[in-house]
Structures are given as structure tokens and as C-alpha cells.
Amino acid sequence: MPLGKVLSESGGRMDHLFFPATCIVSLLYVLEDGSSAEIGVVGNEGVVGISLFMGGHTTPSRAVVRSAGHAYRLRAGVLLREFELGGSVMRLLLRYTQALITQMTQTAVCNRHHSVEQQLCRCLLLSLDRMSGTSLTMTQELIASLLGVRREGVTEAAGHLQREGLIRYRRGHIEVLDRAGLENAVCECYAVAKLEFDRLMCDVPRGQAG
């Protein structure tokens, strides 16, 4: 799953679901002029392709790999047959969907009401939750595209976090030096989404939520 790989396009019908293992996938809403903003992020806690088992088959968002790695791919028909049995798989997928909807809702609120620096902190923390290690490969152009803001705003926000000793940024690589500091700097949107996920998926071992 290389960086930038498109797993699904807006309005396109999906034939497979993807369960990220070590990669991270962005769900992006793309406007007519080509600009975009991230509305959700999926990593080793979840699945890409909820529209398949929710009955919609297509979605208005684009799914793009934003952190390279590996994933499991499953034919839609295989999962749908299991889902229609109405057992534990169905219940687990519906609970995950509720958690993802909460994340999307908080992202919309965050993008409207909170500063670029707070949004950047949320973006970094969501990534850290879905990977091992503390080093991220993310250019300022990519971050600006995910947040739907100008690159200059990202430059200013990243510079301030670096001066505060929370991150180290150079040439498209971000190393998180102080996670606790990021959690103190982020808005409440991160905690709301994380607490809801932990509540709904508390009985699922990390990395097996999908």
C-alpha cells in the first residue's frame, strides 16, 4: 500500500474492503475545483469500505493511503455473507461504524472552530494512534491538503510546535518528541473521538478491530 495509492474514488463502486495493518488511509472529500479535506482516518483499528455493508455500495469520499504500509484485502461478497448472518461480525462492524461517524463529526467541528495548530495536533495524534513509532512521513503540502488549509498556516503551526519542543520537522519528516505536550495542545475533538472509540471497541484487541 504505497503512499498516495487511491483505494476508492468518490461515487465509485467498491469490490473489496481493506483492513489496514501498518498503513494509514485518509478519507477525503474532494470539491469540484480539486481541493480536498480529510473527513476521517482509518488505520489498524478499522476498515475502509463501510458503504458496502451499510447498503450504499458507493460513497462521496475518496480513500487514499497517506502512510505507506500493508493491509488485508477482502472481497465484498465474502464479508457481506458473514454480515448478513447477523452475528458478532455484524455487531462489531456496526460499532466501528458508529465510532468512525463520531470521528467524522468531530473533524467537521474541529475544521470549523479550532485553530490550524490544534488541527495539526489532532492530525498527528490520530496518526500516532494508528502506527508504531513516533516518526511520520508527511509533507507540509500533504498536511495542508488533509486539513483543507493554506500551506503557510501549516508552516506557522509546525514551526510553533517545534519551538515548543513537541515535534522535530525536516524535509517531509515529523518526529514527535513530546506526545503528552501534543495532547495538552490539542482541542477536545481528539479526546471525544478517542473516548467513543475506546468505549465501543473496548473488548477488541488493538490492531484487530476490523
- Asked if residue 166 lies in contact with residue 177, where contact means CB atoms within 8 angstroms, the answer is yes
Sign of CA dihedral 100, 105, 111, 114: negative
Predicted confidence (pLDDT) at residue 208 exceeds the cutoff of 50: no
Alpha-carbon gap, residue 44 to 185, rounded angstroms: 25
pLDDT band (50, 70, 90) for residue 206: low
**pLDDT value of position 133:** 82
- pLDDT range class, residue 209, cuts 50, 70, 90: very low
Over 75-107, what HEC string results? EHHHHHHHHCCCCHHHHHHHHHHHHHHHHHHHH
Among 29-43, 118-132, 193-207, whose mean pLDDT is lowest?
A: 193-207
- Provide the pLDDT for residue 138: 84
Q: Across residues 191-197, what is the average pLDDT?
A: 93
Which segments of the chain does DSSP mark as H helices, in order?
Answer: 50-54, 76-83, 88-113, 116-128, 140-147, 151-163, 179-185, 188-200
Residue 156 cell numbers, joined:
506557522
Mean pLDDT on 112-120: 92
Say how far apart CA 63 and CA 65 lie, in whole Å: 7
What's CA 184's distance to the chain center, in Å? 20
Superfamily covering domain 1-112: Jelly Rolls (2.60.120.10)
Q: What is the pTM of this model?
A: 0.87
Whether residue 65 has pLDDT greater than 50: yes
Q: Looking at per-residue confidence, does 63 or 13 come out higher?
A: 63
As a whole number of angstroms, the distance between CA 143 and CA 37 comes to 10
Q: Domain boundaries in the chain?
A: 1-112, 115-186
Which CATH code for domain 115-186?
1.10.10.10
Closest CA to 167 of 208, 120, 97: 120
Binning pLDDT at 50, 70 and 90, where does residue 94 land? very high
Q: Which of 29-38, 140-149, 162-171 has the highest mean pLDDT?
A: 162-171
Please give the Cα distance from 49 to 57 (Å, whole number): 8
More confident residue, 54 or 209: 54
Q: What pLDDT score was predicted for residue 97?
A: 95
Crossing angle of helices 88-113/116-128, nearest 10°? Answer: 160
What is the pLDDT at residue 23? Answer: 94
pLDDT at 59: 81
Does the pLDDT value for residue 88 go beyond 70? yes
Question: Please, which residues have CB within 8 angstroms of residue 59's CB and are 6 or more apart in sequence?
Answer: 8, 10, 11, 51
